[in-house]
Amino acid sequence: MSVGWDNDITDHQPTASSLEKTYSFFKTAMGIRLLCSVAFCFLEIGLVEVKVTQNPRYLVKKMGEKVFLECVQDMDHGRMFWYRQDPGLGLRLIYFSYDIKNYEKGDVPDGYNVSREKKEQFSLILGSASTSQTSVYLCASSLSTAQHSHILSAQKADIREKRP
């Protein structure tokens, strides 16, 4: 059996038109297959509950005003982190906490303070908002295990330009 060709397969040379139709068919089939795969992935992801929330989601403040950002997690994680990401730069650690009322400065702590009165909550405080603090702020949490005891070293990358 042949599709779009003569019944005599042995001495048939496919035309450009028939090749384009065949290619188009396979391209469409692959596209549908990919779309279905992506849809199934999203369906599975949709079943996973969001475990870390950050409030407020968006915030605009006048210069000099005090700013409170709150991070809440419901996974009973001991470690919590506050990062900032500026255009063209990777994530930079502001502060991290390894338990209630126990926190340490990260790479860029100047102008920031933190509070952790409950295991599930880690607040970032900007004492006086300034233009240098305009950024994307992200919070995260992690299990407190021996495997994670060196987490900071994994997050600090020292990239330098080599010159001949």
* 63 and 85 assigned to the same domain: yes
- 84 versus 31: the higher-pLDDT residue is 84
DSSP 146: G
87-113 pLDDT tens trace: 999 999 999 999 999 999 999 999 999
- For residues 43 and 36, is the Cβ–Cβ distance under 8 A? no
User: What total number of domains does the chain contain?
Assistant: 2
* 25 and 93 assigned to the same domain: no
Q: Which amino acid is at 142?
A: S
Burial of 112 (0-12, 13-18, 19+ CB in 10 A): buried
Domain extent at residue 41: 14-48
162, part of any domain: no
22, part of any domain: yes
Task: State the pLDDT at residue 76.
Answer: 87
pTM of the model: 0.59
- For residues 155 and 88, is the Cβ–Cβ distance under 8 A? no
User: CA 156 to CA 92: how far, in whole Å?
Assistant: 8
Burial profile 3-37: b = 16 or more Cβ within 10 angstroms, e = fewer: eeeeeeeeeeeeeeeeeeeeeeeeeeeeeeeeeee
- For residues 100 and 119, is the Cβ–Cβ distance under 8 A? yes
Single out the residue in 5, 33, 48 at which a domain terminates: 48
Report, as an integer, the average pLDDT of 154-162.
36
* 34 and 96 assigned to the same domain: no
126-152 pLDDT tens trace: 999 999 999 999 999 988 655 444 444
- 65 versus 11: the higher-pLDDT residue is 65
